[in-house]
Amino acid sequence: MGLLYGQRALCIGALSPLNYVGTTEHTAAKVTPFKRLAHTANSFETVMFGSTAEADRVLDAVGRMHRRVNGTLPETAGPYPAGTPYDASDPRLMLWTVAVMMDSAECFYDLLVRRLSDHERETLWQDYIRFGELFGMPRDAAPQTYPHFRAYYGRILEGDEVWLTDEARRVGQFTAFEIPMRRYMQPAKRLHDLIMLGSFPTRVRRIYRLPWTPAHAVAFDLVTSAFRLAHPALPARLARGSNTSTFDGVADIEAWRIATGRPTPQVARFEPTSGIS
């Protein structure tokens, strides 16, 4: 769950043009997105599992960064005209970031470990409200119960506010399906890609123009069922713990590819496509 939820959250989160453009306009890591993804993932794990002092250092650094993230859309993005303002401290944008994280964590736990109970879902959502508060989101900006969260999330995801820019589609696709892995891990990458593809809601796959066939569905069900059956037998050191070494390994492979002139999707040329909602 910890290895997968961040990629899925980023892809679905990119359906908010204000969140996506606000992030990309204020990052110096456009050609090293997996380094940024690994840094973000490590920061989140520190806040979730580290000491109070370690978490406070991360929160202070993120707070300083967020204060610089504000501006206006340079061009129209679906329902948002050019000039629409964005700000990292906007409670609505902060809530969307927390919401896609919550949804993705819950999704992969259900798929790969076991189904959560109603009580566990409520507890998980309350933890994510607290997580958002630590980064500056006002508590009253969030739906106060899990059922209210689900109603909010469904309304946004199925509504007219979502829009995928050309760049967001390209970046989202390679973030989800072009994760750098060592050669010996390529068989695992094929499983990774199938699980990621199947985890997306139908509308998200349609917006990203991702193929989904009956064969995909059968393979996805078999793979995720196998994970759920195998999970109870896994040693705790494999089933739980920090993902830092994996995150850092992905960033290292990305850096090696760039340094040795190997093709990387983030610096390749892509044919433009039109946005779709």
Contact 70, 18 (CB under 8 A): no
Angstrom distance (rounded) from CA 142 to CA 133: 10
Is residue 67 one of the residues assigned to a domain? Answer: yes
Is residue 225 one of the residues assigned to a domain? Answer: yes
Q: pLDDT tens, 131-165?
A: 999 999 999 999 999 999 999 999 999 999 999 99
pLDDT at res. 25 = 82
Is residue 155 one of the residues assigned to a domain? Answer: no
Contact 112, 1 (CB under 8 A): yes
Residue 52 belongs to domain spanning: 8-86+163-267
Contact 198, 205 (CB under 8 A): no
Is residue 191 one of the residues assigned to a domain? Answer: yes
Contact 242, 168 (CB under 8 A): no
| Count of Cβ atoms closer than 10 Å to residue 17 Cβ | 25
- Per-residue pLDDT for 192 more than 70? yes
pTM (two decimals) = 0.88
How far, in Å, are 35, 125, 136, 139, 226 from residue 130 at the CA level?
Answer: 26, 9, 10, 8, 33
pLDDT at res. 124 = 97
Is residue 141 one of the residues assigned to a domain? Answer: no
Evaluate the CA torsion angle 166, 69, 61, 103 in order and state its sign.
negative
Q: pLDDT tens, 71-123?
A: 999 999 999 999 999 999 999 999 999 999 999 999 999 999 999 999 999 99
- Per-residue pLDDT for 258 more than 60? yes
Is residue 104 one of the residues assigned to a domain? Answer: no
Residue 220 or residue 2, greater confidence: 220
Q: pLDDT tens, 203-241?
A: 999 999 999 999 999 999 999 999 999 888 877 766 677
pLDDT at res. 277 = 39
Task: Read off the pLDDT of each residue in 118-129 and give the average, rounded to a whole number.
Answer: 97
Total domains, the chain:
1
Q: How crowded is the C-beta side of 80, counted as CA atoms within 13 Å?
A: 24
Is residue 142 one of the residues assigned to a domain? Answer: no
**HEC per residue, 103-155:** HHHHHHHHHHCCCCCHHHHHHHHHHHHHHHHHCCCCHHHCCCCHHHHHHHHHH
Contact 261, 18 (CB under 8 A): no
Is residue 226 one of the residues assigned to a domain? Answer: yes
